[in-house]
Amino acid sequence: TAGIGLIILASQITPFLGLSPPTAEPGPLLEKLTFLLPLIGGFNPVSAAVAFAVVLAIYALRRLRPDL
């Protein structure tokens, strides 16, 4: 389960940071990470801020209301 979690996390880096890859991302994890590494400089700060705020809101909600 930890392995699939890493794969899902890696597949969400592009939308999380608002990256625009010139071609389709490769499938395997290490190839995907080496493909995305040069693109990190072109991230969209607004997209990254919104994504980070959503992650923080989910974390805070789970801490404040664990019954939800």
Residue 12 Cα to chain centre, angstroms = 4
Give the rounded percent of residues in the chain with a pLDDT score beyond 90: 76
Q: What are phi and psi of 22, to 5 degrees?
A: -70, -25
pLDDT in tens, 7-35: 898 999 999 999 999 999 898 989 999 99
Least trusted range by pLDDT, from 1-10, 13-22, 50-59? 1-10
**CA 21 → CA 26, 37, 57, 64, distances in Å?**
11, 11, 28, 37
Average pLDDT on 32-59 reads: 94
